[in-house]
Structure 1
Amino acid sequence: MDTQLKYRDIIKSVLQQHANHRANLTDGYDSRVLFDDERGHYIVLDIGWNGDRYLHTTPLHLDLVGDKIWIQYDDTEEGIATDLIAAGVPKENIVLGFRHPRIRQHTGFAVA
């Protein structure tokens, strides 16, 4: 299996696990996963009502660009990079896109 297909499967699995966990919380909203394999975009979307407050937010957004996984947004406690590494993705193939390019060189992850 080529790297891109492998990473696509890993991303989908990890995001689905996060969505399932978030859906089990008693906050009154639904967590959904949105996959765009053609363009390499992967998102967890939280949507619904929590009391009188309507929620529509994206706690996780990953892109697959070439053989690198770009974490564009991560609103999790542990950080989704930890889950990607545990699933077999090397740190040098993970880009913390939400970090400024000048800072990325100091993160231990890929710069771009």
Structure 2
Amino acid sequence: MDKLNLYRQLIQQSLLERAKLRAPDDPVKSQTVCDHDGDHYQLVNLGWKNSSTRIYGCAIHADIIDGKIWVQRDGTEDAIADQLIEKGVPKQDIVLAYHAPHVRQYTEFAVG
């Protein structure tokens, strides 16, 4: 399997694993949104909390750009970047895009 297809598979697998963590009776659900043509992947939380508060938001957003995984947003405690590393993705192929470009050089990850 080529690298891009592997990265697509690993991102989707990580998002699906995360989505399944919610209890079946939780009124807030997690959905995966995958744009295979544009290489955009998201985990979105939606539903109602206490029957009066609408919950809707993107918890994780990752893109594949120029052969690297760009983590655009990660609002979770267990970082998707760490999950991807555990699955074999090298740090130099992950960009933490939620950090400003001038700060990325100080991380262990790719700058862009």
Q: TM-score, normalised on structure 1?
A: 0.94
Report how far residue 2 of structure 1 moved.
1.0
| Residues 45-60 of structure 1 aligned to structure 2 (within 5 Å) | 45-51=44-50, 52-60=52-60
Worse-superposed segment, 43-52 or 25-34: 25-34
Separation in 2, partners of 1:104, 1:74: 15
Q: Deviations over 1:9-55 (max 9, x none)?
A: 0000001011111x227652110000001001000011100011000
Worse-superposed segment, 53-62 or 23-32: 23-32
Separation in 2, partners of 1:95, 1:24: 31
Tell me, yes or no, if the aligned pair for 1:4 and 1:66 is still in contact at 8 Å: no
Residues matched between the structures, number:
111
Q: TM-score, normalised on structure 2?
A: 0.94
Identity of aligned residues (%): 37
Report what 1:108 is aligned to: 108
> What stretches of structure 1 of length at least 5 have no aligned partner?
none
Separation in 2, partners of 1:90, 1:26: 37
Separation in 2, partners of 1:68, 1:107: 16
The runs of at least 4 consecutive aligned structure 1 residues that moved more than 6 Å come to none
Give the match's secondary structure for 2:88.
coil
Separation in 2, partners of 1:107, 1:95: 9
Name the CA shift for 1:101/1:29 in 2 (closer, same or farther; >3 Å). same
Instruction: Kindly report the root-mean-square deviation, in angstroms, between the aligned alpha carbons of the 2 structures.
Output: 1.2
Tell me, yes or no, if the aligned pair for 1:67 and 1:93 is still in contact at 8 Å: yes
